């Protein structure tokens, strides 16, 4: 049965060039949609096996003779590109240097980000793995302070209209229906954060999207794995760091849009069913950090 996503409900087409195929079996070994199999020393395709071709591209990528072509579910043979040379791949030290240099930046210069850099961020983010073969992640791009501020004002108005939901009286009413952790998180963060966002905005300070010149909202269909939007969002932050940009994860927009933002979602072309999302803001930092910060996990266990 084909694997259904928000974009596709059919198998991709797999064509094997018998003149190029050397029956090494690597494609069968890496294929987890499972339409490929070996029979009589020939690689064959049966789309009725397991999920059929989900267009993950593994077979095209592993084939040493380029004998396989995939068409469908967002993939074509033109998507096959050469691997970077070993000397071009970042080693552990270089990768750690990049990650240690990244901080959550909320102070930006009044400088617009070039479209070329936006394109590079998106190109890097699109390489992120996902749970469906073909990505179900969508990206809303707010390019320019005016667009980010318009989006922010829409969120602020939603908060003003619905802040009563987080009043002490309402929280007490919800308490019997929540876990202790959920209640304490809302009590200790949501009410204070909302009051702060609104107060600061009235004072001319944007503590919601920090007057960034660029914001990207990564969101996905309900068919996707819940974490699918967060991985490309993280890739986008790392890519931005290599381009001299600062970035920061902003989780509040998802919360506001999901609970109160039906009309706002429609305005910005976000499908109403898309619940999982994360906003990243970008800009040229107006402050320079002198040190990195070491972080640790809550716990690590070897079993």
Q: Over the stretch 121-176, which tens digit does the pLDDT of each residue have?
A: 999 999 999 877 788 999 999 999 999 999 999 999 999 999 888 888 888 888 89
Max CA pair span of the chain: 75
Contacts of 237 (CB under 8 A, 6+ apart): 102, 247, 249, 280
Residue 93 has pLDDT above 90, yes or no: yes
Instruction: Tell me what the mean pLDDT of segment 1-21 comes to.
Output: 88
Assign 186 to helix, strand or coil.
helix
Residue 1 has pLDDT above 80, yes or no: no
Residue 63 has what pLDDT?
96
Average pLDDT over the chain, rounded to an integer = 93
Q: Which tokens hold the place of 244?
A: 């001299």
Distance CA 211, CA 206 (A): 6
Distance CA 192, CA 23 (A): 63
Residue 188 has what pLDDT?
83
Distance CA 31, CA 56 (A): 9
Percent of the chain with pLDDT over 90: 80
Residue 24 has what pLDDT?
95
CB 214 within 8 A of CB 143: yes
Q: Which tokens hold the place of 15?
A: 């064509």
Residue 105 has pLDDT above 90, yes or no: yes
Residue 182 has what pLDDT?
86
Residue 134 has what pLDDT?
81
Residue 130 has what pLDDT?
87
Contacts of 108 (CB under 8 A, 6+ apart): 210, 211, 212, 213, 246, 283, 284, 285, 286
Residue 215 has what pLDDT?
98
Instruction: Tell me what the mean pLDDT of segment 223-246 comes to.
Output: 96
Instruction: Tell me what the mean pLDDT of segment 50-54 comes to.
Output: 89
Residue 163 has what pLDDT?
87
Q: What is the reported pTM?
A: 0.92
């Amino acid at each position: 049965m084909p694997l259904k996503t928000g974009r596709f409900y059919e198998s991709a087409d797999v064509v094997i060039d018998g003149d190029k195929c050397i029956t090494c079996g690597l494609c069968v070994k890496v294929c987890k949609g499972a339409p490929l199999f070996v029979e009589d020393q020939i690689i064959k395709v049966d789309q009725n096996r397991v999920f059929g071709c989900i267009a993950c591209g593994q077979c095209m990528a592993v084939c040493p003779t380029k004998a396989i072509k995939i068409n469908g579910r967002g993939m074509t043979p033109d998507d096959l590109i050469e691997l970077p040379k070993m000397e071009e791949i970042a080693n552990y030290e270089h990768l750690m240097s990049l990650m240690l240099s990244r901080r959550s930046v909320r102070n930006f210069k009044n400088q617009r980000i070039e479209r070329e850099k936006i394109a590079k961020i998106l190109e890097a983010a699109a390489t992120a793995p996902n749970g469906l073969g073909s990505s179900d992640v969508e990206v809303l791009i707010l390019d320019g302070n005016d667009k980010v501020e318009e989006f922010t004002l829409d969120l602020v108005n939603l908060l003003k209209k619905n802040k009563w939901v987080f009043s002490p009286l309402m929280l007490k009413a919800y308490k019997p229906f929540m876990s202790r952790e959920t209640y304490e998180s809302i009590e200790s963060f949501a009410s204070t954060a909302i009051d702060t966002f609104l107060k600061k905005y009235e004072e001319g300070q944007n503590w919601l999207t920090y007057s960034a010149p660029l914001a990207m909202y990564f969101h996905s269909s309900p068919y996707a794995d819940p974490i699918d939007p967060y991985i490309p969002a993280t890739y986008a932050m790392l890519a931005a760091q290599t381009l001299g940009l600062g970035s920061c994860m902003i989780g509040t927009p998802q919360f506001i849009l999901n609970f109160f933002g039906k009309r706002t979602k429609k305005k910005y072309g976000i499908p109403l069913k898309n619940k999982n999302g994360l906003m990243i803001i970008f800009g040229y930092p107006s402050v320079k950090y002198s040190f990195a910060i070491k972080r640790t996990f809550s716990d690590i266990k070897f079993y």
